[in-house]
Amino acid sequence: MTEILGRRPALSFLICVGLFLLTLVLPLNDYVLHILTLSLIFAIFASGWNLTLGILGLKTLGHHAFFAIGAYLSAIAAFYGGVSPWLTIWVGAVLAALAGLLIGLPILRIRSMPHVAIVTLAFAEIVRLIFSNLKDITRGELGFWGIPPFDPVSFGETTIRFGLGNAWGSFILVGLFFFAVQGGLLLLLRSRPGLTFAAIRDSEAAAESLGINFGAWKLAAFALSAGIVGLSGAIYAHYVMILTPTSVAGPEMLITLLAIIIVGGAGRFFGPLYGALLLTGSLELLREFGDYRMLLYGALVIGFVFVAPQGIAGLKFDRLRRRRGHGTNESSSSA
């Protein structure tokens, strides 16, 4: 479990909270806050996906479908039903989790990981096509605009507003969601279910011999993962306030989030945060290179894969392991 969470996960979590609070007092402009807000949204997405892809070892490539389901269903409920986004985001998250259950039942019976990847990728394409063709509701690729932001929150004479154009309030809100999700996942992974997930990833046969119903555990993890990703999609919808099927369920979203997990460290608890901050910021910094932007972005990702095959978080773990090995060798030599 140290390989997943690191040596002192609670302390690392508190340090992240402290850094977040520090940014609130720094003189950051709206553009920087916007990038940080997007980074945290993608970190929530990647954390949910990492639960199945990295921690449980399920090679799924269709989680952006749950992002789209959470985003669109929350936006539709708020736009057409007049329901507050504070409520509709949970509708989007729950319906994404239910979709995860429905698609997980047949998918998780497949033992071949390449087939699981292909089927989940096909599922995401089906979801994209559905939202593209529901033009009377979603306006298809023309864009579903007019999505309401989160309702303002007042503290005495101070009113905090959200959505694009209200960078400071949006950053605080998304940060609170991020740390709530991360805190919940940290508690989960340090409990018996977390140990069960690690056991299933290491050896399904060994886990089954211990009486673990790995099929049920996989399905539960898949649904939880889909729900977290759906929640991130719903938050994204009410932040940017416009959606297109390609932007939330297209291949670019898949590649972006997969790169975040790989660069950050698949199967590492803090990997999604590191990857999201690095790659989201890098993508914006490369805008000045125009047509060469994506070429340089791809080269950056490839470079990180060569330098840190286990991701940024994996580098920290490897350094810790080498220190322990060095200490053990010294003790043996002394003896």
Per residue in 279-315, pLDDT (tens digit) is 998 888 888 888 788 788 888 888 888 888 888 887 7
Burial class (CB in 10 A: 0-12, 13-18, 19+), 329: exposed
Give the integer Cα–Cα distance in Å for 39 and 49: 15
Q: What is the pLDDT of residues 21-79, one digit of tens each?
A: 999 889 889 999 999 999 999 999 999 999 988 888 788 889 999 999 999 999 999 99
DSSP 18-56: HHHHHHTTS---HHHHHHHHHHHHHHHHHHHHHIIIIIS
End-to-end CA distance of the chain: 30
Q: What percent of the chain has pLDDT over 90?
A: 51
Predicted TM-score (pTM) of the model is 0.90
Contact 163, 149 (CB under 8 A): yes
Q: Give the model confidence (pLDDT) of 99-124 as tens digits.
A: 999 998 888 777 777 888 888 999 99
